[in-house]
Amino acid sequence: MAEKKNTPPRKPVRINFSISWIYIILLVFMGWMLFDQGSANPQKEEWPDVEKQWLAGDIKEIVFMKNTYDGKVTIRPDRLDKYSDKFGGVIPKKSPHFVFSVTPSFDPEDTFKELNATLPEGEHVVYKIESEKDFWGVLEWLIFPLLLILMWVFMFRGMNRNMGGGNGGPGGIFNVGKSTGKLAEKDSIKVTFKDVAGLYGAKDEVMEIVDFLKNPKKYTALGGKIPKGALLVGPPGTGKTLLAKAVAGEANVPFFSISGSDFVEMFVGVGASRVRDLFRQAKEKAPCIVFIDEIDAVGRARGKNVGYSSNDERENTLNQLLTEMDGFGSNSGVIILAATNRADILDKALMRAGRFDRQIHVDLPDLKEREEIFGVHLRNLKLAENFDVDFVAKHTPGFSGADIANVCNEAALTAARKNKEFIDKQDFLDAVDRIVGGLERKSMIMTLEEKRSTAYHEAGHATVSWLLPKAKPLFKVTIVPRGQSLGAAWYLPEERHVDTKEHMIDEMCSLIGGRVADEIHTGQPCTGALSDLERLTKMAYAMVTYYGMSEKVGTISYYDSTGQSDMAFTKPYSEKTAQQIDLETKRLIDEAYRMAEELLKSHADQLRELADLLLEKEVIFTEDVERILGKRKKDMAKESEQPVEVIAPESASIE
């Protein structure tokens, strides 16, 4: 017998099944479902076109689905040449050739019978009326859950293999711990300070940061340390993000941008992991800039009202951010820029020196800055000849850069709606009215009495504000309904930074002037002054409790600049003081009411004339008010002022 050879035992074959196969199977299945039914690509037709094809004898068969009101049309083979242009010159080999949709009122049985009656018997169209079976819905409920179960099984197997490496780091499931920040390389950043209009003070401060990044040895040679971070603080839309991009563009360094909310996740530890990964990437790209937009989403003060609004995950993320900013080397070349409009609620540890070393305030633009911003946004617009940029800048006080961009776009849309070739001054005024006051409600029906009441109300505002020297200068008055208001008085507020008590009293009189005019006209108050009364009450309370403008309450301010007053359960004053505050607030409002009443009663004829003019024109301007009430005292005082010539001493040298 032949000897048996000792053969080594065969190793079991292991099949390595990757999770990517799940995705491949899913894609193949979805592709099969989408491209099933052959390669037919039916064209969309309207029912009148299908009817013409039927009467011409071109249709072979129609299948109508009564539950979806859709029809499928098959053309006779010998008539397909007529429709080759609809298929790109290629005659389709598979049917259906056309599809159509109708409304539920369509009666297929009667319609098809009537059309067949017009044709010879040999050319009758074969039609079928069926109900489409929803095979896709059944497969969706059966196959997709099975595929999802399989996917999750393999995903968790991969998670168990990969999570051992570290504290929710980049090796976790789906790389959930990696930073979601967007990296812009230095060559791809085209924004410079030339693209940032206005913001003179802010640009001067960030220029230092640019110089730090360009010439770090200039400062380190003297023993200085490069600042680690700067916080951009300002109202929304003032250009904080644009300024940060301009810093990166001027310094010619990489730019990481991320939102504060991107650190917040439902999984524990993900936010801290993303912070670590972001700073790891930044150190690899140094020198660079990391920009965190809306940092208040993750940098809110810790330990306030524990048990009511605490968020351990957010606080852990903030702690990691504080640690990373401290962990930097003094000359690492990574500068953190952050933006917020709620600097008052940020954690004090975040604001200390060594983290965010400086705060850069990005305020609303003044007149000159608004002119520059308008110049940037007007570059690509077709403007009328002799367009006055200074005019539109003066009529947009308090507008941010984003608001100005919106005004320019809205003006272009307004001109396009009027079929104009160029954008003129009136289009910009209409755009400002629409943005501030809302859309004009032309369809609103008002009775004559309501119009007259509205006219008296707005005339009251205009009269009082015109006669008081410290009130805001009037621009125009309208009784055209916009948004929620039936009319409006438009002012051009003076760009001053400090208001006196006299200024505020005159503003209160102007606010209540509409209510007083209503009572003079009708003899009783009405509900149209709700918004005015709300602003009036808030202003009076602010004078007493914030600005210390009450003799009885005293020069005391209960304003909380930290923004935490809403979290307190008790008021910072006694009940007796609260009563004094209420009495003083009522006294200020009563005083404003009395002043407005005296003014309007002494100028009753002018008030009535102004209201009649409003009823006639619906919109009146400064010139109309000046013609009825005369020039303002303030304007007359300005005209009487003589310029004083200043002569420099002979010894002084003026460059």
| Among candidate residues 229, 207, 227, the one with its CA nearest the CA of residue 219 | 227
Helices (H), 267-311: 270-284, 296-299
**Tokens standing for residue 21:** 């196969």
Distance (Å, rounded) from C-alpha 206 to C-alpha 421?
41
Which residues are within 8 A (CB) of 436 and not within 5 positions of it... i.e. 6 or more apart?
Answer: 490
Distance (Å, rounded) from C-alpha 301 to C-alpha 295?
11
Q: Which amino acid is at 147?
A: L
Looking only at the bridges linking them, the beta strands covering 59-65 and 126-130 are parallel
Looking only at the bridges linking them, the beta strands covering 43-44 and 98-101 are parallel
**Tokens standing for residue 385:** 């000849």
DSSP of 36-50, one letter per residue?
-STT--PEE--HHHH
Residue 40 CB neighbours (<10 A) = 13
Q: Which residue has the tokens 């930074």?
A: 497
Distance (Å, rounded) from C-alpha 540 to C-alpha 585?
5
Distance (Å, rounded) from C-alpha 510 to C-alpha 539?
12
Q: Which amino acid is at 372?
A: E
User: Would you call 458 a catalytic residue per the annotation?
Assistant: yes
Helices (H), 418-525: 425-437, 448-467, 501-522
Q: Which amino acid is at 277?
A: D
Distance (Å, rounded) from C-alpha 519 to C-alpha 521?
5
State whether residue 176 is helix, strand or coil.
coil
Chain centre distance of CA 617: 36
Of 369, 458, 507, 597, which is the active-site residue?
A: 458
Distance (Å, rounded) from C-alpha 224 to C-alpha 219?
5
Contact indicator for 463, 603 with CB cutoff of 8 Å:
yes
CA angle at 506 for the pair 508 and 552, rounded to the nearest 5°: 70
Distance (Å, rounded) from C-alpha 465 to C-alpha 575?
36
Residues with a known catalytic role? 458
